[in-house]
């Protein structure tokens, strides 16, 4: 059996690593964090860690990190004001899987339900709705990225005989807008609707809002039935992953026993990455709540610095309350491409994640206005 790479293949990998390092130094447009040294976890890569099935139920495949996964879920449950006995969750492959799980639970609860989501909702949601064959209506967005609550009210009024499933954005992809859960619940109350499902897509902001002094409503204390958060964004896990939490009573409706793996099938995927819970556990135990709070505070401070630098150059820039996303006009595309700036329509944005520094901001602005 051949071992090791030949000289050509090794050079190819070295070139790829050099490219990634160069691109990593010019990445301020997407939500990813480079904050920790994960080398203490590298020995675990010698094993196939596969978190088959329900993390709370023993599996006949024991090369897993279920115990660590449960600790991670319990930490997030407390963070998001849930009660352990009432909330169930697991570590996903990312925010999209978490959103799919929320929509799946809602569809199982209300087979004829209507999903309402806004224009600014992440592009994957329309795909998810097609995959699970859910009825849906897109609601208009306000200019700031929030859902248009009047359009929501008028649309729900037309379909009052159908249970609504509200897909709320807790930080939209481009503008960081947070749909107002109190406004949404007010619309439902005004229409005398008592049977509904509320899912929160908190991919980025779900790890920002808990560490602010005055967060907008977004979690179980505010009435959500399920919530999806990304693990590779603000937490900075170097593997795409996420966390989905939902009311246990809803999950029990979809649980099935599978003899082959000796556990319950309650997740979207069969085989699941056992490294992701380990990395999340490491971040949680390395940084702690105080560490996350400092990272959020520093990100907001640097975001305000960027806005002032834009303004001093005569460029309008802004951010939502409790958001590290700085929105500015689409411009100088060779430079925005170099710095991997996300663009949509007439808008562009940079995201002040924990690895972004003043030097990054200064260098980017020097180049974009040159």
Q: pLDDT tens digits, residue range 124-160?
A: 999 999 998 899 999 999 999 999 999 999 999 999 9
91 within 8 A of 51, measured Cβ to Cβ:
yes
User: Is the alpha carbon torsion for 212, 214, 220, 226 positive or negative?
Assistant: negative
Has 323 been annotated as catalytic? yes
Q: Which helix (H) or strand (E) holds 113?
A: none
Q: Tokens 């709070």 sit at which residue? A: 293
Average pLDDT over residues 49-74: 92
How many whole angstroms separate alpha carbon 188 and alpha carbon 228? Answer: 22
Taking all residues of the chain, what is their mean pLDDT, rounded to a whole number?
93
Instruction: Let me know the angle formed at the C-alpha of 340 by 357 and 95, rounded to the nearest 5 degrees.
Output: 90
Q: pLDDT tens digits, residue range 261-275?
A: 556 778 888 889 999
Average pLDDT over residues 35-46: 93
Best CA proximity match to 200, nearest among 270, 122, 252, 133: 122
- Domain annotation for the chain: domains and CATH numbers: 42-284 (3.40.640.10)
240 three-state secondary structure: coil
Whole-number pLDDT of residue 257? 58
Residues paired with residue 243 on neighbouring β-strands, in sequence order: 91, 229
Q: pLDDT tens digits, residue range 229-264?
A: 999 998 889 999 999 999 999 988 876 655 455 567
Query: Does the pLDDT of residue 207 top 90, yes or no?
Result: yes
358 within 8 A of 308, measured Cβ to Cβ:
no
CB-based burial label for 145 (10 Å; 0-12, 13-18, 19+): buried
118 within 8 A of 169, measured Cβ to Cβ:
yes
Whole-number pLDDT of residue 125? 94
Alpha helices in the chain (DSSP H): 7-24, 66-79, 95-109, 124-131, 149-158, 181-190, 248-251, 275-312, 333-338, 358-368
How many whole angstroms separate alpha carbon 358 and alpha carbon 303? Answer: 10
Whole-number pLDDT of residue 256? 66
Average pLDDT over residues 23-31: 91
């Amino acid at each position: 059996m051949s071992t090791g790479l030949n000289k050509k293949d090794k050079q190819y990998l070295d070139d790829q690593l050099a490219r990634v390092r160069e691109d990593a130094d010019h990445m301020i447009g997407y939500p990813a964090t480079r904050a920790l040294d994960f080398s203490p976890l590298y020995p675990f890569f010698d094993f196939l860690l596969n978190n088959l099935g329900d993390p709370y139920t023993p599996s006949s495949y024991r090369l897993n990190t279920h115990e660590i996964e449960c600790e991670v879920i319990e930490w997030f449950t407390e963070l998001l004001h849930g009660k352990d006995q009432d909330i169930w969750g697991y570590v996903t492959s990312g925010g999209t899987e978490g959103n799919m799980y929320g929509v799946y639970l809602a569809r199982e609860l209300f087979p004829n339900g209507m999903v309402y989501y806004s224009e600014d909702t992440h592009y994957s949601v329309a795909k998810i709705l097609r995959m699970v064959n859910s009825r849906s209506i897109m609601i208009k967005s306000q200019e700031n990225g929030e859902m248009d609550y009047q359009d929501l009210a008028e649309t729900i009024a037309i379909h009052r005989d159908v249970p609504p499933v509200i897909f709320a954005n807790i930080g939209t992809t481009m503008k960081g807008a947070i749909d107002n859960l109190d406004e949404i619940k007010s619309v439902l109350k005004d229409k005398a609707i008592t049977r509904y499902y509320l899912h929160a897509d908190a991919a980025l902001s779900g790890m920002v809002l808990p560490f602010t002094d005055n967060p907008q409503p977004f979690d179980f204390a505010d009435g959500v039935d399920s919530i999806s958060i990304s693990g590779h964004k603000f937490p900075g896990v170097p593997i795409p992953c996420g966390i989905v939490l939902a009311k246990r009573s809803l999950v029990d409706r979809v649980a099935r026993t599978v003899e082959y793996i000796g556990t319950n099938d309650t997740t979207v995927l069969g085989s699941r990455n056992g490294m992701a819970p380990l990395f999340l556990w490491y971040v949680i135990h390395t940084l702690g709540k105080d560490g996350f709070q400092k990272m959020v505070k520093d990100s907001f401070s640097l975001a305000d610095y960027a806005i002032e630098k834009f303004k001093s150059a005569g460029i309008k820039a802004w951010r939502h309350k409790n958001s590290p996303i700085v929105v500015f006009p689409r411009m100088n595309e060779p430079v925005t491409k170099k710095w991997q700036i996300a663009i949509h329509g007439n808008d562009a944005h940079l995201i002040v994640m924990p690895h972004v520094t003043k030097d990054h901001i200064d260098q980017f602005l020097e180049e974009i206005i040159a």
